[in-house]
Structure 1
Amino acid sequence: MAQTGRPEATDTSGHPAVAIVGPGAIGTTVAAALHQAGRTPKLCGRTPRASLELRDDRGRVLVPGPVHTDPAQAAGTVDLVFLAVKSTQVRASAPWLAALCRPDTVVCVLQNGVEQEAAVAPFVPGCPVLPAVVWFPAEAQPDGTVRLRGEARLTLPDAPASRTVREALSGTRCSIELAADFLSVAWRKLLQNAVAGLMVLSGRRAGMFGRADISRLSLAYLRECLAVARAEGAVLSDEVPREILESFHGYPADLGTSILADREADRPLEWDVRNGVVSRRGRAHRVPTPISDVVAPLLAAASEGPG
């Protein structure tokens, strides 16, 4: 599996050596945070690029590349890999993980869903796999840049492997929170991601949640998801569905979501980890999921066809 060579030092500050696999919207945001702090990571992806660019209300950050595209030329292992590819791309990232990881490399998964460890661990035997909840809205733009519409923040489990991530990002624009009850935090974010899937089915952005009918549907869907989350062991209050809906009411009307961007670009959708999981886990716990049982097949069809 992984190489056993010495880690490649990307800076001389004593911070962990870092690689980012998947320099899309989330990966670019983390790369920019590291670069601004003088800790430019190794960039690994499918498309060669000379640099990455992040833009927000404060200006722009240009992260020097190149984006490496050949795992055979990884040039050594690292202390920390941020895996920022979509869940549909994990298997395709296996050669990068094999090239960059040694048995003690921490793999921090910046991905949607509540099943990151199970999905990634088979590709990095012996490595700590650390799920993360990503809270910042970052959107890839048509010109290849990334637009960040908020502060960058990650929530991690309160676990030993999280120390490596905290050390790597200490003093950067990307803040880290540790959660003793990470399961509840992850399911709360999944509720948010699940209801955002309705944007794909309507072809509209966040402004659609201002409609009374969509608000009613969303609230019913969120309550259904909440019942499944609780069956899984998440501790979430009755107010969480309304709080999430109110957050959508407060978003800019033109704010999209990654699954909508994938639909617009005719790419495979992360429907299963964001929406299908609710039906799957509901069946396991005998919790009825009538809305999920409609939403998930429609998203699957939008992702995979035929037709």
Structure 2
Amino acid sequence: MRTEPQPSIAVVGPGAIGTTVAAALHEVGRTPLLCGRTARSQLTLHDGDRLITVPGPVWTDPARTDRHGIDRPCDLVFLAVKATQVEAAAPWLAALSGPDTVVCVLQNGVEQLAQVAPHCPRGQFLPAVVWFPAQAQADGSVRLRGEARLSLPDGPAARVVAQALHGSRCAVDLAADFQALAWRKLLQNAVAGLMVLARRRAGMFGRDDIAALALAYLQEGLAVARAEGAALGDEVPQAILAWFQAAPADMGTSILTDREAGRPLEWDIRNGVVARRARAHGLSTPISDVLVPLLAAASDGPG
């Protein structure tokens, strides 16, 4: 019986999201090439009581793809670096991508393609909405704190990703209205910015005053999303707030982790974008006007 060859897959940026996707692929026999800034012998994912180990190594030199056994472009590349790291990942994209390579961008925001395309002239770019909470641990492992799921805009490139993850722990939704999903997730990411300024985890949303502030900010963002054409209902702000309130009190978020580690923050693609798009539509954003400069200062200083 003739079998179809397995696609060649790479994960660039084996952090919390990249490790989760790499583990999902490894479990179904599609272990990806691992590419990042820090050399490691393996990746480790904790999912409840389960431990999944993805064999490495994590390669760190995109100029030496010959040493990694790469003699042609990969079929599929998962780009899982943060928006602040795209430029640094550009050599990997150049080394791994060809005209037919699908580059699935696992990043926050609604501007993934505009962020990535200038750094990689080849490949078919595909934005994604990442719905699962995964947190990096102090020992370098990753803890998955929910079911893994991606949403992609329906089309041929998305089906390449869906096939690669078929049968794995990471579900893939092919969305007819991807814009609405992307803006809904953006609103969720944006309100998490409050956690950075408070230096607190999800339990803070149990406070009545924080809940009221979060709801007002979400409603501000909803008006912008609708002006951008996202079909989102009136119930969305309350639903997002309820999600945070139902989360474990100690659950963090990637932007809070970066703040605690003193790293640059993705403040512009998660929060600044709301204010920027609002100005284009002549909308008032009084909460964003306070929140965004504080997040920018927390990220970039000076001081």
Do the aligned residues in 2 keep the contact of 1:226 with 1:236 (CA within 8 Å)?
yes
Within the candidate set 96, 111, 118, 2:107 is matched to 111
Q: How does 1:14-163 map to 2 (within 5 A)?
A: 14-74=5-65, 75-76=70-71, 77-163=73-159
Residue 183 of structure 2 corresponds to residue 184 of structure 1: no
Superposed, 1:147-296 pairs within 5 Å as: 147-296=143-292
CA contact (8 A) 2:255 2:265 kept: yes
Offset, 1:43? 0.2
TM-score normalized by structure 2? Answer: 0.96
Query: How far does residue 124 in structure 1 lie from its aligned partner after superposition?
Result: 2.2
> 1:114 offset after TM fit, Å?
0.2
2:301 is aligned with 1:305 = yes
Distance in 2 separating the partners of 1:219 and 1:70 = 45
* CA deviations over 1:139-195 (Å, ceiling 9, x no partner): 000011000011110000012110110111111110100111100000000000000
**Which amino acid in 1 is paired with 2:165?**
L
- Cα drift, residue 123 of structure 1: 2.0
Q: State the shift of 1:126 in Å.
A: 3.8
Counterparts of 2:220 and 2:116, CA distance in 1: 28
Whether the 8 Å contact between 2:218 and 2:237 is mirrored in structure 1 is: yes
Please say if residues 108 and 132 of structure 1, whose CA atoms lie closer than 8 Å, have aligned partners that are also in contact: yes
2: distance between equivalents of 1:140 and 1:122? 29
Q: Structure 1 residues 245 and 226 mapped into 2: Cα distance closer, same or farther (>3 Å)? A: same
Give the whole-Å Cα distance in 2 for the aligned partners of 1:116 and 1:69. 23
Over aligned residue pairs, what C-alpha RMSD do you find?
0.9
Using the size of structure 1 for normalisation, the TM-score is 0.95
Shift of 1:13: 5.9
CA distance in 1, matches of 2:6, 2:253: 32
Match of 1:8 in 2: none
1:125 shift after superposition: 2.0
Q: Distance in 1 between matches of 2:93 and 2:177?
A: 28
SS at match of 1:125: coil
Is the Cα contact below 8 Å between 1:16 and 1:164 reproduced in 2?
no
- The amino acid that maps onto 1:28 is T
Q: CA deviation at 1:14?
A: 2.8
Report the Cα distance in structure 1 between the residues aligned to 2:164 and 2:236, rounded to whole angstroms: 32
SS at the partner of 2:286?
coil
Letter in 1 for 2:29: G
Deviations 1:187-231, CA, capped at 9 Å, x for gaps: 000000000110000000000000000000000000000000000
Residue 72 of structure 1: how far off its partner (Å): 1.3
Question: CA shift at 1:293, angstroms?
Answer: 1.0
Unaligned runs of 5+ in 2: none
Q: Does the CA-based 8 Å contact 1:16-1:167 persist in structure 2?
A: no
Looking at structure 2, the residues matched to 237 and 201 of structure 1 have their Cα atoms a distance apart, in angstroms, of 28
Residues 97 and 122 of structure 2 are in contact (CA less than 8 Å); yes or no, is this contact kept in structure 1? no
Structure 1 runs not aligned, ≥5 long: 1-11
Instruction: Check the 8 A contact 1:54/1:145 in 2, yes or no.
Output: yes
Residue identity matched to 1:221: Y
Offset from partner CA, 1:22-63 (integer Å, 9 cap, x none): 000000000000111111100000000000000011410000
- Any conservation in 2 of the 1:15–1:167 contact (CA below 8 Å)? no
Does the CA contact (< 8 Å) of 2:94 and 2:122 recur in 1? no
Q: Give the partner amino acid of 2:20.
A: T
Q: Distance in 1 between matches of 2:125 and 2:282?
A: 30
